[in-house]
Amino acid sequence: MLKTKVKSIIFLATSIITFSCADSNSNNTNNTFNNTNNTNNAIEDADNDNYTVAQGDCDDNNALVNPGAVEVEDGIDNNCDGFIDDDYDGDGFGIADDCDDSNRYINPSVPELCDDGIDNNCNGIYDSGEECVGGTDPCPDELKLIYVVDRDTKELLKFDPADLSFESVGTLSCGGTNTPGSMGITRDGVGFVVFSDESLFEIDTETATCTATTYSDAQTGFGAFGMGFSSDSAGSEDETLFVANATTLGILDTTAWSITNIGSMSSQAEVTGTGEGGLWAILPLEGRVVKLNKANAQETESHDLIDFPDPMNIDTFAFAHWGAALWIFIREYGMGSTTDVYKFDNSTHAFTLQLEDTGYNITGAGVSTCAPYIVQ
């Protein structure tokens, strides 16, 4: 979603924050990877299981606990990977019972949702094959895609991550000489685009038609921001528009056009939300993506982006979720350079280049909460 020239705002990042491995899994409060049960020297094998503390044994007083052990549901981190009973998504269910342990909203305790093609409650029965909540999918296919906007031409496009294709919608006729930036898309297909003068326009995602809003940065004092909608809860059709600037996460009320501050951000951020109620941010100056607590902006997950482009060389960037992944659009400085598309996999945490030199200079990416948050 956010555009912004990183070079022009580099002074906003006063420090780079680094996180330990334990921080990257901060949603799992039972993490035992800190070896607190070890009382012996790191190079000794006190329990004779062929693993020392230095080799990753998180309990060298128990021969059944070591990196080579099989994880079982016993309330212990048997294989020393930092997760109790391998509950990777922190929903209270380990891999023995959780049919998708990368998604905390899929487990035996949740209701089955109708017509979403997912076994939400992990009983082997899908959708209307059992008692379920909800009904026919209210979202048209086009609102399950990512929308992007080109800074130079103001062209609005649809991007399909499934086949890495772009399709033109039309050209935005608003903003005058100002350039488009961050974008948010509602479940109803209404888009919002903020321009370089902090004006905010409503756009029709079918025709690219623009309508001015009464949002005033002079009244909010929030400055340039990135934005994204997040469902209020998993599967809910109610949603909230979150905005983030260089220091603060807030909520933008699209009726009163006011912003309520929620909490602090460590540096310039762009945000994207999901239909499962999640909220993610990218911090390009720090080369990280983080999952946020929507009530206070605290980071619940943090992941370094390995081989992320040099922030000093980034001209424009944008950010959106789709299908258990975060999609990052980056243009680096250079004659003839255009936007590259990267993917961060929420399950494997791999950061990979998906598409090079798209031919566009993408400064905004918007996705509705209709977009899939897992792909089967």
Q: Taking the CA atoms of the chain, what radius of gyration do you get in angstroms?
A: 22
pLDDT digits (tens, 9 = 90+) for 327-363: 999 999 998 899 999 999 998 999 999 999 999 999 9
- Domain of 213, in residue numbers: 6-21+139-367
- Is 155 within 8 Å of 173 (Cβ atoms)? no
Would 49 be classed as within a structural domain?
no
- Is 123 within 8 Å of 131 (Cβ atoms)? no
Would 325 be classed as within a structural domain?
yes
Would 215 be classed as within a structural domain?
yes
26 pLDDT exceeds 50? no
Residue 219: CA count within 13 A, CB half-sphere:
10
Burial 255-278 (b: 16+ CB within 10 A, else e): eeeebeebeebbbbbbbbbbbbbb
pLDDT digits (tens, 9 = 90+) for 60-78: 899 999 999 887 778 788 8
Would 101 be classed as within a structural domain?
no
- Is 20 within 8 Å of 82 (Cβ atoms)? no
Q: Which of 173, 164, 89, 212 is nearest to 353 (CA)?
A: 164
Would 184 be classed as within a structural domain?
yes
Task: Return the pLDDT at 236.
Answer: 81
Would 96 be classed as within a structural domain?
no
Residues whose CB is less than 8 angstroms from the CB of residue 165 and which lie 6 or more positions away in sequence, other chains included: 159
- Give me the mean pLDDT over the 120-146 stretch: 78
Q: In terms of pLDDT, which residue wins out, 12 or 124?
A: 124
The secondary structure of residue 28, as a DSSP letter, is -
Distance, CA of 61 to CA of 35 (rounded, Å): 11
Distance, CA of 259 to CA of 266 (rounded, Å): 19
- Residue 155, domain CATH: 2.120.10
Alpha helices in 144-245 (DSSP H): 217-220
Domains held by the chain: number: 1
- Give me the mean pLDDT over the 87-114 stretch: 78
Neighbouring-strand partners of residue 321:
326
- Is 304 within 8 Å of 290 (Cβ atoms)? no
Task: Return the pLDDT at 216.
Answer: 96
End-to-end CA distance of the chain: 25
Residues whose CB is less than 8 angstroms from the CB of residue 10 and which lie 6 or more positions away in sequence, other chains included: 285, 311, 312
368, containing H or E segment: none
CB neighbours of residue 159 within 10 Å: 25
131 pLDDT exceeds 50? yes
3-state secondary structure of 316: strand
Task: Return the pLDDT at 139.
Answer: 82
Would 150 be classed as within a structural domain?
yes
